[in-house]
Chains A and B, each alone.
Chain A
Amino acid sequence: MEFLVGHYNYWVVVFLMMLGFYVVISRTHMVKVLVGLSVFQTSVFIFYISLGKIRGGTAPILIDGPAVYSNPLTSVLILTAIVVSIATTALGLALVVRINEAYGTVDEEEIDAIERADEAAVLEAR
């Protein structure tokens, strides 16, 4: 029981990760897939940040006397990773907008069907 409660941050991470990953592999609506990927990314970020946290630790700033502080490195790493994830999400959403303009749908299966029809037409026409 103590194992379960003591590591509650990891259970949150695992739950969010599985949720996000499930959405990524099960949905065909591309915006939903991107949202799933975002949830997945966030779970990894929480994993890192909770890794560096020490109970009762303060922020790593200079104060008089000895102090217990949390590991700042994990937060710094995630700051970089958040920037990367913003870029990827923005690029993904921009692509979805362009795809919607081109195909009139953002559903992966419908796009697949349209593409197969196009491909067959091209190969047919000699």
Chain B
Amino acid sequence: MVAAILLPMGAACVAILVRGYAARIALVTALLTAAVSVVTAIAVVRNGPLEYAMGGWRAPLGITLRVDGLSSLMLLLSASVAVPVFVYAAAHYARARSDERQGADFWPLALLLWGGLNGVFLSGDVFNQYVAVELTSLAAVALVTLGEGDAALSAALRYLLSTFAASMFYLLGVGHLYAVAGTLDIPSLAGTLEAEAASYSAAALITVALLFKSALFPLHFWLPRAHSAAPSQVSALLSSLVVTSAAYLFLRLWTTVFVSVAVPVVGQIIGGLGACAIVWGSLQALRQQRLKVMIAYSTVAQMGYLFLVVPLVTSALSTPGGGALWGETAWSGGVYHAIAHALAKAALFLSAGVIVGAIGTDKIVGISGIARQLPVATYAFGIASMSLIGLPPSGGFVAKWMLLTAAFKSGQWWWAIAIAAGGLLTAGYVFLVLGQGLSQASSDRDVELKSTSKAIEYSAFALAVAALALGVRVAEPLALLRVGLPIEMP
């Protein structure tokens, strides 16, 4: 369990020292870390939630790492996104000799990012989570600067300023929590928080900070630039894992620590922001002329779905029997959506990377007829889009179905409108791209593609297939999620 954090971080240090072998070290580490994640998941299924006391000091004094079903699913997610992305990056840097220096910088940072993410997923202590989130953000900002051109630099600085202003709010909120409860351990905090002024301010500060980091409308302004200016393999990591890790933290804290101060009205407001994010992000995505900016706006829209869980779960918490009726469905649907979106979005960015790398421009009008030349990448784009829209059978469909069911059962039918409208708009913008891609090649474009390799195309394809497979095998992930459910619903 500790290995899931230590392996990538240790490998990152080694990869800085021996830059020539960085790619090989990273690939071996990726496989080992993935194996550790799988072993952890099996252990969680067999023995229930696991705990590890760092340095042998138990909870009130020391820092504990905890794995329940949710953490374990997130570990698996980070591994299943990171491994294909690493394969893609290795193949990309092996071919593009001009990017050799960028490659040497990519590996340590990407490993550090992965270690930080696993730290966020495993920490059982709010301050430790702050440190893990900061590590992730530092690595993420540095990765954005690897992008081509000056725009990547200014995008990275803006990302840095907004993400660290948010971190300070988070840290301040943690300080309030400590002042009120005298502990930083999440399970100990969960029982002790009383409805008083300092608890409310702690909840408000941490909520704002995490909404900022997960780019919920209207705090999303930093995301499209940062995610589109980065190299495609970096965009895939950022858009699928980094924002999801902030949303994970939000859901975890809201359903454990802040249950006693979570007012239904605030839940409705956050859900409303989520609905706005779906509509606004999708409309913006429709208007974009560049492929990667479009996919980045799609992330803004898809993050909105995650926050529809908040009003559904908070209302279930305050209604007797609500948990069994719709609370658990909403909760599982939200987590399932996070996973399905992460896989599909990584697939989209990687296949966009293949296409953009081959034709040398990321204008959507420029990709006409690409399906004939890059069938695998276009197919991957298509399958991932299917999951994003929520067509059956795909992970996105299952997640949206559960969210819709929960919305109707709770009587809050208005969220169903946002979910359905979002699906429709998503279909609009992905079909714009697919329509161009499948059309006849326009005669004015000289069809001179830079060659790509099989590994690059198939790593995107593997991610897309994983998003699809989530729609076929639903029972296993949901069973894992139910192990050590962090919320107790009436």
Contact = CB atoms under 8 A, between A and B. Distances in A.
Interface of A: 17, 21, 24, 30, 33-34, 37, 40-41, 44, 47-48, 51, 73-74, 77, 80-81, 84, 87-88, 91-92, 95-96, 98-99, 102-103, 111, 115, 118, 123, 126
Main secondary structure of the interface of B (DSSP, over half): helix
A42 B153 CA distance: 26
A37 B156 contact: no
B157 A115 contact: no
12 contacts: A21-B165, A37-B164, A40-B165, A44-B175, A47-B175, A73-B178, A88-B134, A91-B138, A91-B141, A96-B157, A98-B153, A99-B157
Contacts of A40: 165, 168
Contact of A92 (B160, B178, B363, B365): B160
B168 A44 contact: yes
A115 B168 contact: no
A21 B168 CA distance: 10
Interface string B32-64: 000000000000000000000000000000000
Contact of B153 (A41, A73, A84, A99): A99
A95 B156 contact: yes
Nearest to A33: B161
Contacts of B365: 126
A115 B293 CA distance: 15
B363 A123 contact: yes
Contact of B160 (A17, A77, A95, A126): A95
A84 B175 contact: no
Contacts of A80: 127, 131
Given A24-B161, A37-B161, 15 more contacts: A33-B161, A37-B164, A40-B168, A41-B168, A44-B172, A48-B175, A74-B175, A87-B138, A88-B134, A88-B160, A95-B157, A95-B160, A99-B154, A102-B150, A115-B154
A51 B151 CA distance: 42
Contacts of B156: 95
Closest 8 interchain pairs by CB?
Answer: A102-B150, A95-B157, A84-B134, A99-B153, A88-B164, A44-B172, A48-B175, A98-B153
Q: Chain B contact residues (Cβ within 8 angstroms of A): what range?
A: 20 to 34
A48 B177 CA distance: 11
Contact of B178 (A33, A51, A88, A111): A51
Interface of B: 127, 130-131, 134, 138, 141-142, 145, 150-151, 153-154, 156-157, 160-161, 164-165, 168, 171-172, 175, 178-179, 289, 363, 365
Contacts of A77: 127
Contacts of B157: 30, 92, 95-96, 99
B153 A24 contact: no
Contacts of A96: 157
A88 B160 CA distance: 8
A37 B127 CA distance: 20
Nearest to B156: A95
Contacts of B154: 99, 103, 111, 115
B127 A115 contact: no
Nearest to B365: A126
B171 A44 contact: yes
A72 to B, nearest CB: 12
Contacts of A41: 168
A111 to B, nearest CB: 5
Given A88-B160, A95-B160, A123 B289 contact: yes
Contacts of A74: 175, 178
Given A88-B160, A92-B161, A47 B168 contact: no
Contacts of A30: 157
Contacts of A88: 134, 138, 160, 164
Given A95-B156, A99-B157, A103-B150, A51 B179 contact: yes
Most B CB contacts (10 A, CB to CB) among A80, A91, A103 go to: A91
B388 to A, nearest CB: 25
Given A40-B168, A74-B178, A98-B145, A118 B151 contact: yes
B123 to A, nearest CB: 13
B13 to A, nearest CB: 15
Contacts of A111: 154
A21 B162 CA distance: 11
B138 A95 contact: no
B76 to A, nearest CB: 28
Contacts of A84: 131, 134, 138
A77 to B, nearest CB: 6
Nearest to A52: B178
Nearest to B130: A81
Contact of A115 (B142, B151, B164, B179): B151
A40 B172 CA distance: 10
A102 B150 CA distance: 6
